[in-house]
Amino acid sequence: MVSDNEKGLVLAVASSVFIGSSFILKKKGLKRAAANGTRAGIGGYTYLLEPLWWVGLVTMTFGEIANFVAYVYAPAVLVTPLGALSIIISAVLAHFLLNEKLKKMGVWGCVCCIVGSVMIVIHAPQEQTPNSVQAIWKLAMQPAFLIYVAASMSIVLALILYCEPLCGQTNVLVYIGICSLMGSLTVMSIKAVGIAVKLTLEGINQVWYPETWFFVMVAAICVVTQMIYLNKDWYGQDTESIASEICGFITVLTGTVILHATREEEQASLRTMRWQESGKSFNEEHLLSLYRPTEYQESKTPLC
């Protein structure tokens, strides 16, 4: 029988294929639109009249639907990192369709994505699904999460209102920062909506809870915001640059996880060694008491 994690894995990989392909289609559409009007990077919306851009959007929609369903079956720690596979798909397609040569550094970045994805798939935990949207709402109302949301939105507003007009056209990190921070909130809200849908299909109706519709609204706002600024980010960036930047973040994250896991193994080994040494000392003391009982008792007798 196929487990929920395996279903989520298949859907996440399929999502990456669709989304990775949509990157190429939308970029070609953006280039065509820029040749006929104001490009998206400086506030133009002529790409909305480009059919190829809409084909890419539809392809991305299928990918996002698959990604949404994947969150229903598998934990976010499994589904989210597998989105990096879409970078590999887009890099390979760009090599053949956009004549953007994939250099050695780009290949190395793709390898890092694959290695990290395999590690995550192997060690992905089984998820405990909340029994209602209200339970998810209680988790979302925890002070630590509220502080994270407030900090993220503050940074996003600062990037949109101050950094984008000042250096948005020259520093790609502005758009990456906006999309990444909004993406983290997208993942959380989509996960909540996915659980609500799953519970409803199982007979536990979640439609009438206002928390369900709040999560739907948050997901919609986050997705629309990402779409707007992702279009501005794509133009003028070749796929190799985008892949290298994102793979860099993934490599750093993978290294942090490996270091943390290694630290835990070292601590476990140290505890085992201490336990073995304490057991050895006890055995030695016991043997001394057996073979030299008189001397041992004299050495253990305290002086008055």
Span 132-141, pLDDT tens digits: 788 888 888 9
Token pair 């190829």 in the structure block, residue: 52
Express as a percent the part of the chain with pLDDT over 90. 11
Do residues 42 and 111 lie in contact, with contact meaning Cβ atoms separated by under 8 Å? no
Band (pLDDT 50/70/90 cuts) for residue 256 is: very low
Direct distance between the N- and C-terminal alpha carbons of the chain, in angstroms, rounded to an integer: 74
| Distance in angstroms (rounded) separating the CA atoms of residues 236 and 245 | 14
Distance (Å, rounded) from C-alpha 256 to C-alpha 277? Answer: 32
Query: What is the pLDDT confidence band of residue 260, given thresholds at 50, 70 and 90?
Result: very low
Q: Two tokens at 271?
A: 């505890």
What CA–CA distance (Å, rounded) separates 69 from 263?
35
C-alpha span between 209 and 93 (Å, rounded): 43
> Which string of DSSP letters, residue by residue, matches 94-138?
HHHHS-----HHHHHHHHHHHHHHHHHHHTPPPP---SSHHHHHH
Contact 143, 204 (CB under 8 A): no
State the Cα–Cα distance between residues 63 and 57, nearest whole angstrom. 10
pLDDT of residue 155: 93
Residue among 266, 258, 265 nearest 115 (CA)? 258
Q: pTM of the prediction?
A: 0.56
CB neighbours of residue 129 within 10 Å: 15
Quickly state the pLDDT bin for 255 (edges 50, 70, 90): very low
Note the pLDDT tens digit of each residue in 222-238: 888 887 777 666 555 55
Mean pLDDT of all residues in 16-21: 91
